[in-house]
Amino acid sequence: MAMPFIDPFGRAITYLRVSVTDRCDLRCVYCMAEDMHFLPKRDLLSLEELDRLCSAFVRRGVRKLRITGGEPLVRRDILSLFKSLSRHLDAGHLDELTLTTNGTQLARHAEALAACGVRRINVSLDTLDPAKFRTITRWGDLDRVLDGLAAARAAGLAIKINTVALKGVNDQEIPDLIAWAHGLGMELTLIEVMPLGEIEPGRIDQFLPLSLVRSQLKQRYTLEDLDDRTGGPARYVRLRETGGRLGFITPMTHNFCESCNRVRVTCTGTLYMCLGQDDAADLRGPLRASECDALLEQAIAEAITRKPKGHDFVIDRRQARPAVGRHMSVTGG
């Protein structure tokens, strides 16, 4: 294996998140506008190109690979990509192949994902109230997601529920979500809403600081800080009363940039060195310019030299505009 990519601050890039599509079968209010304009399919990297791109990163030290979207499981023939990438698990060059999903397609794909070496998944779910779920997702069916979770558990997949904390929407439901998730042996991670993309509800109205949530939870639970790291930005506690693990992702109130080991590639081959910055590099051009990966690796290496120390996320209360204009679904999870 070649030397890993190292950014200007000495951080090795060991975690790659790759979006395979900007499309999704839901329209969550904090993620997408209701009337989204999706990319034409001709602009997307083929599954073979995505495999080649991911493999280039694995050769240079990436140990964790997360497939994202949009909703990754709506991409046609997506299981063939998982099956192909699983060779890096078999060879010992990759520690984890996983995905983030909204759960709507899990009932169909859970067993196949497990067969491809996926051992753990993240499922985005913000409420257990069917009516509220439909409101948040604009048209989603909660039962379909719950069926998908049951299928994933039956397939032996470890599950982490990702919940975006939304002021006035699900803030009072967080203890119920914790009890439900931990009762089924699943983890739960709470996430602060991030200022990406123009959406109909204002970020100011949605934003709920997790420092406040944590303070409220301490009145009900005994929170024991953990040193656990899963390669991502979450900080974890153990709830003594449930025995389960609870994560906090706090890009707004306590950023996690000092240990950032991650980069993101979109479904069009655009590399973002930071979720909260607009600087990006085109990898599709060098990928298609040569069957040899030398140009691709050169482009990646040059881009990593521009990885910033941290992001610029801020809720702009004066102008109520996002810190970054692109939607989360464009960058990928």
Q: Which residues are annotated as a binding site for S-adenosyl-L-methionine?
A: 30, 70, 124, 194
Angle between helices 142-154 and 106-115 (to 10 degrees): 20
Give the residue ranges of the annotated binding site: 17, 24, 28, 30-31, 66, 70, 100, 124, 160, 194, 257, 260, 262-264, 274
Q: Using CA atoms, how far apart are residues 6 and 301, in angstroms rounded to an integer?
A: 8
Q: Using CA atoms, how far apart are residues 86 and 116, in angstroms rounded to an integer?
A: 6
Give the residue ranges of the annotated binding site for [4Fe-4S] cluster: 24, 28, 31, 257, 260, 274
Give the residue ranges of the annotated binding site for GTP: 17, 66, 100, 160, 262-264
- Beta-bridged to residue 135, according to DSSP, are none
What are the residue ranges of helices labelled H in the chain? 47-59, 78-90, 106-115, 130-137, 142-154, 174-183, 203-206, 210-217, 284-289, 294-304, 328-331
C-alpha separations of 92 from 86, 97, 113 in Å: 10, 12, 18
Q: Using CA atoms, how far apart are residues 272 and 266, in angstroms rounded to an integer?
A: 8
Tokens 């329209």 -> residue: 27
Q: Using CA atoms, how far apart are residues 312 and 280, in angstroms rounded to an integer?
A: 15
Tokens 């707004």 -> residue: 252
Return the amino acid letter for 90: D
The tokens for 119 are: 């051992």
